[in-house]
Structure 1
Amino acid sequence: MTGRDVAHAPSLTKDQVILLQAHHEAAHAVVAHHAGMQVNSLHVRQSGDAAGWWIEGITYVVHHARQATPLALQGAAGEIAALKWLDNHGLRTAETEAAANADHDRDDVTAILAEDGITVDWPSICDAARNEVNVFWPQITAVAHAAAEQGDLTAEQITDLIRGSVDIHCFRYQHGGPDSWSTADFETYEHLAEINDQNAPTTSAYQPAA
């Protein structure tokens, strides 16, 4: 969990869709991490054939029955982060909103919680998740850029990026990010420098129950 996400938008370039999907998955991972959940891995992959292409993403987190609110928060965070990324780059339209839509995350979360007899107020969860995304945006962006270039991130790599143990430039050097395509081709070098230099927050507004 979370469920597989598939994104495609004719008005966006492939690199932009990769970044859109990467920010969605990164938000799942970062918000889950700060809510005390175990994050196992994150994946952003390209699929397709002669007829076209699409970008798939999935983030694996471990859910325990006591973690209803964390599960819901991280579930809501993906779409919120994708829309924030579109807004930040002036790319939000009805078409790109549809590409960022993640109603399936809400449906997955509510179905899982229903098995434990738990219901959540989804609009309130989204409000809380939006705050988490804003607070942790530098970390989400760092993880997203690494995922966009690497494709697959381990739990250790995600944690290192969240904690600032490694920045995106070091990540490229250590993991052989392709010289032929860099997120800096679309995201400016100044923006990447801001990600690397900013002291990212390390605490969440959400506090797990003792």
Structure 2
Amino acid sequence: MSNDPEARGARRGLLIILSSPSGAGKSTLTRRLRDWDETLRFSVSATTRAPREGEVEGRDYYFLSEPEFRRQVASGEMLEHAHVFGNFYGSPKGPVEAAIEEGRDVLFDIDWQGAQQIQNSDLGKHTLSIFILPPSIAELRRRLESRGQDSPEVIAKRMQKSWDEISHWAEYDYVLVNDDLDATEARLRAIVSAARLKRIQQPSLTDHVRALQMEYEERS
């Protein structure tokens, strides 16, 4: 783990948003980022779909009725939400706010629409958004085809969706071209490390500067 435990208690947590088209390497980079810092946790989403076998409330999802989900959206208790294949999904705000105040970073694996909702929320100032681009369209297609899971028709649909995602690259704080996995991982670590040191993430700096001022005045 790369963090100094004492330093973690002196800062606010980050909302780290990672987005990319399918096949750009986001899942691998996310896994490596969590291996680098084991304190990183994914935001637990809420959903209106029924639990599947083995899923645990509060670990895999928060399972809500549709009326309750709609109520939470209306009252501002969801950071972002979407309607997907007949069910609602969203990111509850309360657990994320608690994590931020405790100095814990929260990962979000969401698309550009969810990213915009979070960035435009009142927690947006604590958000770090990163988009992962493939080195080329040909390489993106090769990666999708190499999985051996989809028909040509499905791959064509994934490619169209991927381009829709790529078209929103300029809406992110940082954009990384994943042409070399190790190099991209190193850049990703550097971005997260730097964002943790932003002034707004370090509320204890105010007290430190006040102490410096008092010391200066005593010596003047």
Q: Provide the TM-score with structure 1 as the length reference.
A: 0.30
Would you tell me which structure has more helix in proportion to its own residues? 1
Q: Provide the TM-score with structure 2 as the length reference.
A: 0.29
Rg comparison, structure with higher value: 2
Q: Per chain length, whose mean CA-contact separation is higher, i.e. which structure has more relative contact order (CA < 8 Å, sep 6+)?
A: 2
